[in-house]
Structure 1
């Protein structure tokens, strides 16, 4: 897997997905805004009662500012909902207990980056550290003299090496095989998680294209 690392481009706000049932208990309607006319019975939704009122679907993505002591993942270019494909390059970073992001790319070490839409994996329970200890270890690790633009290498010293180096510094690779080397970290830890968000991304893009999506409701 070729790893290309760069800063995030322009961010467009991600809208929340809503879900409701209007006239058919077997069909969920997913949308950003409740359509004026039901796509199934063609009645005015404002003048007729919905079987299940609109509720917000939980998103697998969050802002890095709301994610403490985590590994954060995002597409190198763009966002998950707009740009991600299974062949897209990924960028990773680490947050402290206040949600401050630390990441490394061809420009060197970055502090306090904000990733409005990222996938986060909490690591604190794996470490046995408390948040104060995590911050102390992280701030010791992110030495700007070590993580310089001059030392960046697209294949051998990139954002994945930055994050994996911290996990090794915490000795997590002795307990968790997926942290043993970069290929295991990417394949068995990161890609395993990004694959699971595919269904949400597919729904989001279909709603964006057609205005709504009708889905068969799971039996209760």
Structure 2
């Protein structure tokens, strides 16, 4: 499990680390008093144990993605969990029902806790959908472009939406709205963890400092014109 990433600000910098040090790594000032410009905040970990997230859409690195990356260029795999956290996912050999292997993934809950009728029927819907002929590799082969794990998961989600009399989501719409923002967040979080592991800290200019510098430059320009 990833350590918790903490962010605090000091001397015009945003500083990311696993724990707040006794002194600022940028200027060396001690923090014995309350000299932090902002209270430290914890950066939410975008990864969860998919097997502990029932009725959810899961994203994890594909088996051939040996570096386990979420960088936008590496292959990813998707699945749907039942109410017990079993991950249903479509592969070249058909639909798998994994009880392990999705412990470090991105998850998107698909059902609100108070949707009791849907939760009670969820497993039945998922099993019936997964047993359909179209997911039998002897009937229709896995295709990287248009008959893959993503097709399987999105089609199931749209079947559930149809049962609720809601409109279907297109592949682009679902990707842009739900997938890409979470993948970007996961990639950034992974980068932060790697930088902190190697260098103890990850330090960048604070956006407030940048905006203040831009304002000061604009004020100087205005004065020089007058």
Shared fold (TM-score, shorter chain, > 0.5):
yes
- 1:18-47 CA-to-partner distances (Å, cap 9, x unmatched) read 3346xx3754432135557641343677xx
1:163 aligns with 2:149: no
| Structure 1 runs not aligned, ≥5 long | 1-12
Tell whether the 8 Å contact from 2:11 to 2:27 is kept in structure 1 after alignment.
Answer: no
Report the equivalent of 1:212: 201
Aligned residue among 75, 80, 83 for 2:61: 75
Paired residue secondary structure (2:135): coil
Tell whether the 8 Å contact from 2:161 to 2:167 is kept in structure 1 after alignment.
Answer: no
Q: What TM-score comes out, normalization by structure 2 length?
A: 0.68
1:139 aligns with 2:130: no
| Structure 2 runs not aligned, ≥5 long | 209-226
Report the equivalent of 1:6: none
Q: What TM-score comes out, normalization by structure 1 length?
A: 0.69
Cα pair distance change 1:176/1:73, threshold 3 Å? farther
Q: Distance in 1 between matches of 2:56 and 2:166?
A: 18
Aligned residues: 199
- 1:174-204 CA-to-partner distances (Å, cap 9, x unmatched) read 7345x23x44443454224423444434433
Tell whether the 8 Å contact from 1:109 to 1:149 is kept in structure 2 after alignment.
Answer: no
CA shift at 1:83, angstroms?
1.9
Greater helix percent: which structure?
Answer: 2
Tell whether the 8 Å contact from 1:74 to 1:119 is kept in structure 2 after alignment.
Answer: yes
Q: Distance in 1 between matches of 2:33 and 2:81?
A: 45
Counterpart mapping for 1:49-60 below 5 A: 51=35, 56-60=42-46
Report the equivalent of 1:119: 106
